[in-house]
Amino acid sequence: MAARAKGRFLPDAEAGPEGWTSRAEHVAVVETASMNETDLGEYCRHRGIFPEQLRVWREACERANDWERAAAHRITRETKDDKKRIQQLDRELARKEKALAEAAALMILRKKAEAIWGFGVSRRQPDRAVLGTDRSAGRGEDE
């Protein structure tokens, strides 16, 4: 029969260490934390456990607290990484919005130029005579 059903918080020697719940193990760790070796030996004999089992349970309790700290540290690191990623995406979005606005402005200017000077003005090749690269411009017709 379980120790709880008998109105006790911890199992007695008949239960053995296998019948202990994690709560009972934690209580045993807390109760024995300040005991010297003699009192600890008496406590273990009365409960039917070995001091080594108490050490294992104590280490498990300590690791449980370390796990919480490690989880909190991991969450903090992930949050920091997420914030950096958000900032990077915001910068990229701003850059792309600028490029889109510039492209839209150039399209509007092109349409206005076509409306003023006529269709195809923005696509016309530069006049070679003006640039000085037309070979026929320097030849003259009398040659």
pLDDT tens figures, 65-114: 677 778 888 899 999 999 999 999 999 999 999 999 999 999 999 999 99
Determine the structural domain holding residue 100 and report its residue range. Answer: 17-121
Mean pLDDT of 113-132: 64
Residue 75 located in a structural domain:
yes
pLDDT at 7 exceeding the cut of 90: no
Tell me the three state secondary structure of residue 2. Answer: coil
DSSP letter, residue 46:
H
Computed over every residue of the chain, the mean pLDDT equals 79
Task: Note whether residue 2 is domain-resident.
Answer: no
pLDDT tens digit sequence for 40-76: 889 988 888 899 998 998 888 888 767 777 888 889 9
77 in any annotated domain: yes
Q: Number of structural domains, the chain?
A: 1
List the structure tokens of 45: 């004999």
**CA 136, CA 143: separation in Å to the nearest integer?**
11
SS3 49: coil
pLDDT at 31 over 80: yes
Q: State mean pLDDT over 15-38.
A: 82
Does residue 28 form part of some domain? yes
Residue 3 within a domain: no
Does residue 58 sit within a domain?
yes
12 inside domain = no
